[in-house]
Chain A
Amino acid sequence: MSTDLDLFLANVSLISLLAIIGISLYGILARPNIIKKIIALTIFTDAANLLAILVGFRRPPSAPPVLLNLQPSPSEIAEFSSTAVDPLPQALVLTAVVIGMAVNMLIIFIALQLYRLYGTLDVRKVRRLRG
């Protein structure tokens, strides 16, 4: 019974994550303002990263992938590798967050330049202007 409840709660979190991905895709595709598109894009990136972390999770009791003892014995190492969560998705997401932020800053600068040249951030008007 308690496993069923756990499964329900885990399903709630997974499905709301998928719903967040859907809503942010709607924001990227359908909203006309470029700033709104950037906000939706960052939410989409964050949701994708969180999904990667969720795949590497393991059922509690589990621990972060950090060994607490600096002089570990073989039994401690075996216990560590049987309780810690998967560190590989965390390592990939770690770089993806920082690099994604730098790329978002590049998009922000390009949006600023677009506003300087066209005087608007509405993609419909920019499309009509034709340079």
Chain B
Amino acid sequence: MKRELITALSLTATVLVVAYISTLGGGLGPLFSDTRPLAKVFLSTTLDPNKPMFTAMSPEGVTAIVWDYRGLDTLFETAVFYLAIIGAVAVYRDVSEKVVLKGGGVGLSKIVKLVTKLLIPMNIAIAISIALHGHLTPGGGFQAGAAMAVVPMILIVVFSRYFLLEVKISKGLALALRSIGLIGIAFTVFLPIIIALISGVNSYIMQNQVKFGAPFSFPAFFGDSLISGSLILYNLFELLAVTFGFSILFLLLSIEESLVKEQMGGEGSEH
């Protein structure tokens, strides 16, 4: 351990020396005082009611790029997410999660359980508020999903896996809710086309606000409050998809290994 610390400190010293030498030679560090022209375009149109053809009607630059300007990127990233989770589920394809309740799981001590009971509702409320305010303040569907995915993990660790089965959160339910999220995203993608076909105007896939030659637009305001058109829908559905995607993985990962081996049986020797 001591030898490793000495090596780490000498590594730090090397970094400092190299940085000093490169500073003498003019430096290579990031000291840009300006951004690229593309960033200027994004920043100046993200919320500008005077330019209705270009704006995304969201004061949050990152969410506007994720779900409006570069929405198709995010759509296919979501497809990669779907395939990665399906691949992980395929590893456990023959394992049913019926767990024999051997006296029920015990979990951690009473104090930890009480504190967790108090903290879990706060965690859920924070995650939902991150999703619902994702188009106004830093946040959005991915962030809320990551914050929410901590909840099943804590429940499994603190209350044991049997607790989740008692409150009827199974793999099938998580898969169904995740599918609802993904179908919701796909529906919001094609909604402009459907409405435009019905009413006889032009529109693009994943269109949010009015574009040139395509007069379709999601409503930017609901009453007095800014909802930024389709961004709030995408954020909510992505919250569902990410949360329950990670929940499936934790439900599978926490199945006891002896049960898995029992159910896979002689299959292992064939490979």
A–B in direct contact per CB < 8 Å: yes
Q: What is A's interface to B at a CB cutoff of 8 Å?
A: 3-4, 6-16, 19, 54-59, 64-70, 72, 74, 77-78, 80-81, 84-88, 90-92, 94-99, 101-103, 105-106, 108-110, 112-113, 116-117, 131
B205 located at the interface, meaning its Cβ lies under 8 Å from any Cβ of chain A in the complex = no
B174 located at the interface, meaning its Cβ lies under 8 Å from any Cβ of chain A in the complex = no
Tell me whether A84 and B28 are in contact (CB under 8 A).
Answer: no
A residues in contact with B143, CB < 8 Å: 94
Tell me whether B84 and A106 are in contact (CB under 8 A).
Answer: yes
Who on chain A is nearest to B143 by CB? Answer: A94
Tell me whether B29 and A13 are in contact (CB under 8 A).
Answer: yes
A residues in contact with B11, CB < 8 Å: 19
Tell me whether B39 and A88 are in contact (CB under 8 A).
Answer: yes
> Majority SS of interface residues in chain B?
helix
Tell me whether A99 and B268 are in contact (CB under 8 A).
Answer: no
Q: What is B's interface to A at a CB cutoff of 8 Å?
A: 11-12, 14-16, 18-20, 22-23, 27-36, 38-40, 42-44, 46-48, 50, 59-62, 64-66, 70, 73-74, 77, 80-81, 84-85, 87-88, 91-92, 136-138, 140, 142-143, 145-146, 226, 242, 245-246, 249, 252-253, 260-261, 264, 268, 271
Given pairs A59-B33, A90-B62, A117-B271, 18 additional interface contacts (CB within 8 A): A6-B31, A8-B20, A11-B28, A16-B15, A58-B32, A58-B33, A70-B226, A74-B48, A85-B35, A87-B39, A87-B61, A87-B65, A91-B65, A92-B73, A95-B74, A99-B84, A105-B84, A105-B88
Chain A to chain B contacts (Cβ below 8 Å), 27 pairs:
A8-B20, A10-B27, A10-B29, A11-B23, A11-B29, A12-B16, A14-B30, A54-B30, A57-B32, A58-B33, A65-B60, A66-B138, A67-B46, A67-B47, A72-B59, A81-B40, A84-B61, A86-B36, A96-B77, A98-B242, A99-B80, A99-B84, A102-B81, A108-B253, A109-B252, A117-B268, A131-B271
